[in-house]
Structure 1
Amino acid sequence: MATPIDPSSTAFLMAESRKAPMHVGGLQLFEPPEGAGPDYVGELYRQMHTVEEFEPIFLKHPHRSVGTAGQYVWVEDEQFDLDHHLRHSALPQPGRIRELLDLCSRLHGTRLAVERPLWEAHVIEGLADGRAALYTKLHHALTDGVSAMRLLQSVLSSDPDERDMLAPWALRKRRSKAVESANLAEVPIKALRTALGLSADAAGMPKALVTTLSRGLRNESATLALYAPKTILNQDITASRRFAAQDWPTERLRGVGKATGATINDVLLAMCGGALRRYLLELDALPDTSLVAMCPVGLNAKQAGSASTSGGNAVGSVMVRLGTDEADPGARLRTIHTSMREGKAALGTMTQNQILAMTAIGMAPAMLTPLLRLQGMVRPPFNVIISNVPGPRVPQYFNGARLAGMYPLSIPMPGMALNITTTSYAGMMGFGLTGCRRTLPHLQRLLIHLEDELAALELAAGVN
């Protein structure tokens, strides 16, 4: 039976192109359980392949025709072939993390076939240290990055002795509670849809719009940036991808935050800002004014229809000045802390509908610029997207195999060649950097710069 596809998912299907595949991904590393044999990864693949009933989300694909009046609908794949979606891969020697990230880069740059269900999973062996890897990708029309992570986490357990655990795509009798998306790419579509029925909020919209534009002109806006400089990050992109990943102890970030009065997220952004400054300096491409990052934030409802800044169920974006024009790491962290605090405070004065509408206004230039092919010719609305997704706080296992690390892969877009997404897991903060390989040379050097910047922040904060 055909099911209509919502406007947000349709937008991702229509926006997709060869140079901009619209899927999110994830890389998980597993340590084999004690006593595992040399064919452990092969056994893991065969176990994941032994599925008789599937969750519906893994069986449907988009379709449109004259019979659907040209509209996209979900239909079940009558020729579903698990071998197409679940694959067993091996790394070339010497089986370093470098070879693993190269493979993930190639896999992530390939579009999913719309005539099939929009997902793939690759069980990967050949790591020299004996670990197994799992790379997965799901189309953004099917699910957002946050929900995809929750879906994969739902098959894990904190019990290392639990066995007979099902693959993520296997049908479950007990369905986990749905997790609300916090992905900002959906916000403009939601805003346009919600704006049709603003009801009581309509009276406050003109004032909110005037306030947003006024703050934007003064370079103070929470949702609208008019001062982002032109950089090499904001050119047209190709289909080639480079994925770089590494994690750091969350306690190191927390230590800097405690010593300076900043949040862990502030410190994370300061690491990114400092790393981008170092990277652009190496390329002699650092602009005189600060780079601007678009950061998704969660907002809890204070009361029906309004929002606060303590984190939760409304979603907005804050345009954060990364302080890349400042050489001092401490000053950069203070700039970011102030920018984020003021941005959240501004959003806290708006209702949810106003937040969505204002965010849509802020996102509109990012959507129109590639459509009009103006990348590199006009100032971008922001320079980079930086997201932070919380993950499990305690170690997780899959049939006795310990999850040793998890790293998100996201979506570079025309005019936005780099996406940085992080996730916390069991005391570590995993960074996933997804960029256009041809637009941004030596992207993996950002990992070195992230470590150098964290060390510089610790020194500036007086943390041993």
Structure 2
Amino acid sequence: MVTPIDPTSAAFLLAENRRMPMHVAALQLFETPDGAGRDYPRRMFEAMSDVPRVAPLFRKHPRRSLALAGQLAWHYDDDAEFDLGHHVRHAALPRPGRIRELLDLTSRVHGTRLAWDRPLWESYVIEGLRDGRVAMYTKTHHALVDGISAMRLMQSVLTTDPAQRGMPAPWAERPGTSRSRAERSLADVPASALRTALGLSAEAAGMPAALVRTLNKGLRNETSAISLYAPRTMFNQTISGARRFAAQDWPIARLRAVGKSSGTTINDVVLAMCSGAVRRYLIELDALPETTLVAMVPVGLNARDSHLASADGGNAVGSVMCRLGTDLEDAADRLMGIHGSMRDGKQALASMTPAQIVAMSALGQAPAILAPLLRMQGLVRPPYNLIISNVPGPRTTHYWNGAKLVGSYPVSIPINGMALNITCTSYDTQMAFGLTGCRRTVPHLQRLLTHLDDELAALEQATGVS
């Protein structure tokens, strides 16, 4: 079966090169069930590999189609073509089996591209942690899923019941679940979607006005989907294909207390932690610019149109260009500046339809792609300096066949000219930060974890949180 690839997914495929693999990933930590035995990691791997049939999302890969005049299309492997053993792997850490060794392995595997001649995903069951936990690293091409879809997909095979068994692997086809979009016929499309399709002309008619509003805000250095005032920084260079990954989590209660005391949101506090940490890091390296850094903050459109992002995959992402206030010394001033910037950005998006948000966001990100292609990097200002995103996750403890999920850390995508990506995921009572950077361009990446911790303490002190 062959189906066309939507423009957003095609863009992720075409933008990819050896220096810029375009897959997202998650690193999960599980505590083994009581009495599981030393062979539990092997049995977990076998359970992940024992799948009667793989879901369509995990059987498709891109191919040029003669029927579509050479355009990219999804080709679906049948049972004879598909090799699950290539995608599900068993790995072990070298001694002493610290988190350091786990992060080193994650860094190396994350820097390797997914081959187009096979479905675009891999998963590793990893044993050898000296505390007995089992890790699972899963990467999936961004052409298949965005962060929200990936989170929902992983959640779909977890349960809040520690006694429940028989939970499938994330890639297993499950009876009664919704089919992928590629398998839906026109008769399956709900009436609301048809009404949306019939309203495309109205959206197109509103596009010029949305463009004018977005450009006006950009020219006035106000928050919108376009930034015209980001400074040049050490992050805005051509990157290599090697990656370094660092991760840590903090209690959500601490972030919530700062937000409550200051009248801001948890996402504002996350951005303020990142702002202060990056500021400290750049000061250490004598590389802090005089004007504020700008972060591209992805926003999931499913918040406004829930059918756009789901466990079936797909991409539904817009963006806000947030001024981080790295030119300000006081932590509280940075937090309030970020709060105002994000509020303005959300108000700007609220006046647009989802299609207009996607179009304006693509326009804002175009310079990040075009400058390297045209070899103009370093000659023009970057459209933003780094990427910071926050993907909501489960609010309660979850299990997979009795194994308790104790940590879930996002591993994301640095892009050419944007060597640092900070992605956060909430899980249970914790906010997990995953920092992914170019190994050459962002030295001593793990120092940012110390700075994040210091910055949260500074925010607590600045906002009067005891």
Mapped to 2, the partners of 1:42 and 1:352 lie a distance apart of 45
Mapped to 2, the partners of 1:314 and 1:134 lie a distance apart of 26
427, 430, 439: which one pairs with 1:428?
430
Q: For 1:295-353, what per-residue CA distance to the aligned partner results, in whole angstroms no more than 9, with x for missing partners? A: 123568999xxxxxxxxx98532111101001110111011011111111222233334
409, 414, 419: which one pairs with 1:412?
414
The answer to whether the 8 A contact 1:375-1:414 is kept is: no
In structure 1, the residue matched to 2:188 is: none
The answer to whether the 8 A contact 2:369-2:416 is kept is: no
> Alpha carbons of 1:196 and 1:52: their partners in 2 closer, same or farther (altered >3 Å)?
closer
In structure 2, the residue matched to 1:18 is: 18
Mapped to 2, the partners of 1:300 and 1:216 lie a distance apart of 25
Which amino acid is 1:317 matched to?
A: S
Mapped to 2, the partners of 1:360 and 1:124 lie a distance apart of 37
Q: For 1:68-119, what per-residue CA distance to the aligned partner results, in whole angstroms no more than 9, with x for missing partners? A: 5322222233432222111110001111111001000000000111111111
Matches within 5 A, 1:263-274: 263-274=265-276
Which amino acid is 2:108 matched to?
A: R
In structure 2, the residue matched to 1:309 is: none
Tell me the CA shift for residue 53 of structure 1: 1.5
Tell me the CA shift for residue 175 of structure 1: 0.9
Mapped to 1, the partners of 2:113 and 2:24 lie a distance apart of 11
Which amino acid is 1:114 matched to?
A: W
Q: Does residue 1:153 correspond to 2:155, yes or no?
A: yes
Matches within 5 A, 1:52-91: 52-64=52-64, 66=66, 69-77=69-77, 78-91=80-93
- Secondary structure of the equivalent of 1:455? helix
- Secondary structure of the equivalent of 2:95? coil
125, 131, 134: which one pairs with 2:133?
131
> Alpha carbons of 1:391 and 1:302: their partners in 2 closer, same or farther (altered >3 Å)?
closer
In structure 2, the residue matched to 1:49 is: 49
> Alpha carbons of 1:128 and 1:450: their partners in 2 closer, same or farther (altered >3 Å)?
same
Which amino acid is 2:251 matched to?
A: P
Mapped to 1, the partners of 2:69 and 2:393 lie a distance apart of 41
Which amino acid is 2:70 matched to?
A: G
TM-score under structure 1 length normalisation: 0.90
Matches within 5 A, 1:326-345: 326-345=328-347
In structure 2, the residue matched to 1:216 is: 218
Matches within 5 A, 1:87-106: 87-106=89-108
> Alpha carbons of 1:46 and 1:327: their partners in 2 closer, same or farther (altered >3 Å)?
same
Tell me the CA shift for residue 167 of structure 1: 1.1
In structure 2, the residue matched to 1:113 is: 115
The answer to whether the 8 A contact 1:291-1:322 is kept is: yes
Tell me the CA shift for residue 67 of structure 1: 5.9
Tell me the CA shift for residue 373 of structure 1: 2.2
The answer to whether the 8 A contact 2:157-2:168 is kept is: yes
Mapped to 2, the partners of 1:146 and 1:314 lie a distance apart of 9
In structure 2, the residue matched to 1:380 is: 382
> Alpha carbons of 1:289 and 1:166: their partners in 2 closer, same or farther (altered >3 Å)?
same
Which amino acid is 2:13 matched to?
A: L
- Secondary structure of the equivalent of 1:258? helix
Mapped to 1, the partners of 2:96 and 2:302 lie a distance apart of 48
In structure 2, the residue matched to 1:316 is: 318
Matches within 5 A, 1:223-242: 223-242=225-244
Mapped to 1, the partners of 2:237 and 2:203 lie a distance apart of 37
> Alpha carbons of 1:356 and 1:7: their partners in 2 closer, same or farther (altered >3 Å)?
closer
TM-score under structure 2 length normalisation: 0.90
> Alpha carbons of 1:195 and 1:284: their partners in 2 closer, same or farther (altered >3 Å)?
farther
**Greater shift in the superposed pair: 102-111 or 162-171:** 162-171
The answer to whether the 8 A contact 1:213-1:221 is kept is: no
The answer to whether the 8 A contact 1:112-1:119 is kept is: yes
447, 451, 458: which one pairs with 2:460?
458
> Alpha carbons of 1:414 and 1:47: their partners in 2 closer, same or farther (altered >3 Å)?
same
- Secondary structure of the equivalent of 1:392? coil
Tell me the CA shift for residue 260 of structure 1: 0.5
Mapped to 1, the partners of 2:75 and 2:304 lie a distance apart of 40
Q: For 1:134-157, what per-residue CA distance to the aligned partner results, in whole angstroms no more than 9, with x for missing partners? A: 000111122222212211111111
Tell me the CA shift for residue 10 of structure 1: 1.9
> Alpha carbons of 1:389 and 1:103: their partners in 2 closer, same or farther (altered >3 Å)?
same
Aligned residues: 441
Which amino acid is 1:69 matched to?
A: A
Tell me the CA shift for residue 161 of structure 1: 0.1
In structure 2, the residue matched to 1:40 is: 40
Which amino acid is 1:30 matched to?
A: F
Structure 1: tracts of 5 or more residues without a match: 180-193, 304-312
> Alpha carbons of 1:169 and 1:334: their partners in 2 closer, same or farther (altered >3 Å)?
same
Q: For 1:220-275, what per-residue CA distance to the aligned partner results, in whole angstroms no more than 9, with x for missing partners? A: 14111111000011100000000111110000000000111011000000000000
- Secondary structure of the equivalent of 1:156? coil
> Alpha carbons of 1:463 and 1:356: their partners in 2 closer, same or farther (altered >3 Å)?
same
Tell me the CA shift for residue 207 of structure 1: 3.6
Structure 2: tracts of 5 or more residues without a match: 182-195, 306-314
